[in-house]
Amino acid sequence: MSPPPTLSPEYLHSAYLRVASLAVGLYELLHTLPAEYRFYRSQKSLRRPSQQCILFILIRYISIVTVLVSNIGFFASFSPRACGRFFLLAPIFKVLQAIISQSILGLRTYTISRKASWVFYAMLAAMCLSVPVMQSGHCRRRLPDFIDALARILRKFIHETTLVCTTGNQPNHREAWIHYAVAMSYDLVAIGISSGYLWSYKNNASRLCQFVRTMMYEGLGYFVIITAVNIFNLVFYHSVNEDIQAWVIHFLATLGYVIIWIMSQRILVKQRGTLQNAFQRDYGIDAFCRSVREIRGGKKHVRVQRLQAR
CA torsion angle 30 261 18 25 (round to 10) = -10
> How far is Cα 5 from Cα 252, in angstroms, rounded to an integer?
21
Q: Which pLDDT value is given to residue 294? A: 54
> How far is Cα 212 from Cα 308, in angstroms, rounded to an integer?
33
Q: How many CA atoms lie within 13 A of 135 on its CB side?
A: 9
> How far is Cα 265 from Cα 63, in angstroms, rounded to an integer?
10
pTM exceeds 0.85, yes or no: no
CA torsion angle 300 302 304 309 (round to 10) = -170
DSSP-H helix ranges across 201-278: 210-239, 242-270, 274-278
Q: Which pLDDT value is given to residue 143? A: 52
> How far is Cα 228 from Cα 219, in angstroms, rounded to an integer?
14
Q: Which pLDDT value is given to residue 100? A: 93
**How far, CA to CA in Å, does 2 sit from each of 9, 162, 167, 275?**
17, 11, 23, 59
Strand blocks (E) in the chain: 142-144, 167-169
Q: Which pLDDT value is given to residue 302? A: 43
What residue type is 157 in one-letter code? F
Per-residue tens of pLDDT for the chain, all 310 residues:
334 444 566 677 777 888 888 999 999 999 999 988 888 888 887 788 888 889 999 999 999 999 998 888 878 777 777 777 777 788 888 889 989 999 999 988 888 888 889 999 999 999 998 888 877 766 555 555 544 444 444 444 444 444 667 665 555 556 667 778 888 889 899 989 988 888 877 655 544 566 666 777 777 888 888 888 878 777 776 655 555 555 566 667 788 889 999 989 888 887 765 555 555 544 455 555 555 455 445 444 444 444 445 5
Q: Which pLDDT value is given to residue 139? A: 59
> How far is Cα 138 from Cα 159, in angstroms, rounded to an integer?
27
**How far, CA to CA in Å, does 5 sit from each of 58, 247, 251, 252?**
36, 12, 17, 21
> How far is Cα 184 from Cα 178, in angstroms, rounded to an integer?
10
Q: Which pLDDT value is given to residue 27? A: 92
The angle, 0 to 180 degrees and rounded to 10, between the axes of the packed helices 242-270 and 33-41 is 40
Q: Which pLDDT value is given to residue 161? A: 47
Look up residue 202 and give its DSSP letter. Answer: G
Distance of CA 150 to the CA centre of its chain: 33
CA nearest neighbour of 246 among 133, 149, 140, 155: 149
Name 169's bridge partners: 142
Q: Which pLDDT value is given to residue 151? A: 42
In order of their start, the domains of the chain are 9-293 (1.20.1070)
